[in-house]
Amino acid sequence: MNSTKPQFVSINEFISATCLSRPTVSRKIKNNEIPHTRIGRKILIPISFLKELEEKSKASATKAEA
């Protein structure tokens, strides 16, 4: 059994986590605004980028409260 954590999320998982629309995510991938890797036809987005977005979101929410 492989116990390593996944390093990437699918586009559907990214959409669910960010609440962005599919066309927005597709456009951002096409414009290289979202880092990604392609394996055949499958596009994968690094979990580290998702975590980075989460941290930026928390930081901006903290600033808004102050």
- Helix (H, G, I), strand (E, B), or coil: what is residue 15? helix
- Kindly calculate the radius of gyration of the chain based on its CA atoms and give it in whole angstroms: 14
Whether the per-residue pLDDT at 29 is higher than 80: the answer is: yes
Is 1's pLDDT higher than 60? Answer: no
Task: With beta carbons less than 8 A apart as the criterion, state whether 57 and 48 touch.
Answer: no
Single pTM value for the model: 0.81
Average pLDDT over residues 21-28: 98
Q: What is the DSSP string of 16-55?
A: HHH---HHHHHHHHHTTSS--EEETTEEEEEHHHHHHHHH
- Select the more confidently predicted residue: 59 or 18: 18
